[in-house]
Structure 1
C-alpha cells in the first residue's frame, strides 16, 4: 500500500480520503479547519499542520479544493506550498474542478521541480464519493496514469484518459455545464407546468419516460418535486463552474456559449435570492415560489 496525502477535506475530499483508508493506504491529511479531519484521524489518518508537511513522505498527493485560488495556495505558497515539499518520485494529483489555464500552469510548475503531475477531476457528487463510485476524467501522460490508476480505483469505478494536461478540466467543465443547463431547463418547465395548472408530478413522470429526458434530468426533477435541496452540488459552485466554462471559451464567450451564459444568469439570480447554499435543484424555487 502507498503513502498518500490528501489536501482538502470538504464534502468530496473527506469521503475520498475515507475510501483510501478503507483500501489500506497510509494516509496523511491537511485541511484549513482541523476539525474536518477528526473522523479520519479516528480511523487512522495522520493530520499535518501544512500542505508541505503533509506531503513530505507521500508517494501520491491528491488535492480537492474549491477553486483556482485555493489550488494555487496549497501547491505554490512560498512558505507552506506542497509542491516544494514533494519527494522526487512522488505523483501530484489535482482533482479539483479548475480552469485548464491554471491546470497547465500548475503542471509546468511541477515539471520545473521534476515532479510528476496528473489532473484527475471527477464526475459524481457526495453520494458517489461516499460509495467509491466516482468517474475520473484524467489529463496527463498515459504511462503516469497507468501507475496511478490503482489508487484512483480505490475511490472510483471508472478512469477515463481525456488527453494531455488540461483536457481533464475541459471535459469536467463540459460535464458540469451540461448538468447545469439541464437543471435550469427542468426547473423552468416545472414552474411553467405549475402555472398552467397541470398535474406536475404526472407531467414530469411522462417527460422522464421520453427519449428527450436523461437519467440526470429525471433525478433532478424528482428532487425538485420533493423539495429536497441538501447541497450535494451547491448553487454557488454551479455558478463558479459555469463561469470557468465560459471563461474557457475565451473572447466572445457569450457568442460561443450562449446557452451556458444564459444558464449562469439563472444561477446567479438564485444566489441573489439567497439560494447559494441550496443544491443545484433548489433553482426550481425561482419558478415555483412567490416573489
Structure 2
C-alpha cells in the first residue's frame, strides 16, 4: 500500500480520504480548518500542521481545493507549500476544479522540481465519492497516469484520459457548464408547471419517458419538487465554475447560453442561496418568491 497525503478535507476530500483509508493506504491529511480532521484521525490518518509537513515523505500528494487561489497557496507557499516538502520521486495530483492556465503553470512549477504531476478533476456527487464511483477527467502524460491508476481506481469507477495538462480542467468546466444549464432550464420549467397549476410530478414522469430526459434529471427534479436543498453541489461553487468557463470562452458573446445560466447562479448567490444545493435556484422562479 502507498503513503498518500490528501490536502483539503471538504465534502469531496474527506470522502476520498475515507476511501483511501478503507483500502489500506497510509494516509496523512491537512485541512485549513480543523473541524474535518478528527474523524479521519480516529480512522487511522495522521494529521499534519501544514501542507509541506503533510507532503513530506509521501509517495502521492492529492489536493482537493476550492479554486485557483487556494491551489496556488497550498502547493506553492514559500513557507508552508506542499511542493517544498515533496521528494522528486513523488507524484502530485490536483483534483480541484481549476482553470487550464493555472494547471499548466502548476505543471511547470512541478517540472522545475522534478515532480511528476497529474490533473484529475472529478465528476460526481458526495454519494459517488462515498461509494468510490467518481469519474476522473485526467490531463497529463500517460506514464504518470499509469503510475497513479491504481489509486484513482480506488476512488473512481471511471478514469478518462482527455489530453495534456489543462485539458482535464477544460473537460471538467465543460461538464459542469452543461450540468448548470440543465439545472437552470429544469428549474424554469418546473416553476412554469407550478405556476400553471399542472400536476408537476405527473408531467415530469411523462417527460422522463421521452428522449429529452437526461439521467441526472431524476435527481435534479426530485430535489426541486420536494424542496430539498441540502448541499451536494452548492450554488456558490457552480457560480465560480461558470466564471472560469466564461473566461475560457473568451467573452459572453461567445457563450450566451453559458452567460445566461451564470447570471442565474449569480442572482441566487445575491439572494442568499450560495450555500444551498445548486437546485435551489428553482426558488428564484416560483410564484411565491
> What TM-score results when the alignment is normalised by the length of structure 1?
0.98
1:83 aligned residue? 83
Partner of 1:222: 222
Q: Aligned with 2:138: secondary structure?
A: strand
Cα RMSD over matched residues?
A: 0.8
CA contact (8 A) 2:56 2:87 kept: yes
- Structure 2 CA distance for aligned equivalents of residues 271 and 290 of structure 1: 19
Asked if the contact 2:121/2:136 (under 8 Å) is kept, the reply is yes
Measure, in 1, the Cα distance between the counterparts of 2:24 and 2:56.
Answer: 19
Unaligned runs of 5+ in 2: none
SS of match in other structure, 1:247: helix
- Per-residue CA deviation, residues 8-63 of structure 1 (Å, 9 max, x unaligned), is 00000000000000001000000011221101000110000000000001000000
Partner SS for 1:229? coil
**Paired position in structure 2 for 1:280:** 278
Aligned to 2:127: 127
Instruction: Detail structure 1 runs of 4+ shifted over 2 Å in the superposition.
Output: none
Contact 2:195 2:287 in 1 (8 A): no
SS at match of 1:158: strand
Which of 252, 265, 268 aligns to 1:267? It is: 265
Matches for 1:21-170 after TM superposition, within 5 Å: 21-170=21-170
The 1:289–1:44 alpha-carbon spacing in structure 2 relative to 1, beyond 3 Å, is farther
Three-state SS of the structure 1 residue aligned to 2:197 is coil
Unaligned stretches of 5+ in structure 1?
A: none
Is the contact between residue 7 and residue 62 of structure 2 (CA under 8 Å) also seen in structure 1? yes
Separation in structure 2 between the aligned mates of residue 187 and residue 140 of structure 1, nearest angstrom: 37
TM-score, structure 2 as length reference: 0.98
